[in-house]
Amino acid sequence: MLSLHIPDKESLTIEHVILDFNGTLAVDGKLIPGVASRLEELSPLVSLHVITADTNASARSELAKISCTLKIIGKNRQDQAKLEYAENLGLKSVLAIGNGRNDGMLLQHAALGVCVVQKEGAAIAAMQAADIVCNDINDALDLLLQPHRLTATMRN
């Protein structure tokens, strides 16, 4: 469990982190350097879930050594499928990280949504739905590992 304190807002108790794969954890289907070690550092604190359309058909092999649940979704209504997955976990306990149009609903309804831009860019819909936009996934994961950064970004 991760307790996130945001001044003027209720504290967030995050039990699940839902991550998109392509454009978020990976570029061209390959895990981005630095991601695996950060996910391993986070895994004792929260449950990690990777939910993806698996465009490059590489998620299972790339994530084989990482302590996470992998959910590969179908071709249609992917935004709805990602949201429903989070609803089943309990939206209030979910922090979501993604970059694509199909992450928009998830980023909007999760307790906290983080959009990443990096090499593949971010859909405007995802960016507008998020609470925070990061240049890259390692910065986004470091917000969770060093939550005072997140507090500083979110305070009003």
Question: Under the rule (CB under 5 A), what is the footprint of Mg ion?
Answer: 20, 22-23, 99-100
Give the relative orientation of helices 147-154 and 137-145 as an angle to the nearest 10 degrees: 100
Q: In angstroms, what is the minimal distance from the CB of 148 to Mg ion?
A: 28
Select 17 or 154, whichever has its Cβ closest to Mg ion: 17
Instruction: Give the nearest distance from C-beta 116 to Mg ion in angstroms.
Output: 9
DSSP 95-143: EEEE-SGGGHHHHHHSSEEEEE-TTT---HHHHHH-SEEESSHHHHHHH
CB of residue 44 vs Mg ion: minimum separation in angstroms? 26
- Displacement of CA 97 from its chain's centroid (Å): 2
Q: Which is nearer to Mg ion, 108 or 151 (CB)?
A: 108
Q: How far is it, in rounded angstroms, from Cα 40 to Cα 31?
A: 13
- Beta carbon nearer to Mg ion, 22 or 118: 22
Residue type present at position 40: E
Whole-number minimum distance, CB 73 to Mg ion, in Å? 12
**Which residue matches tokens 């429903």?**
84
Nearest-CB residue for Mg ion: 23
Cβ proximity to Mg ion: between 51 and 112 the closer is: 51
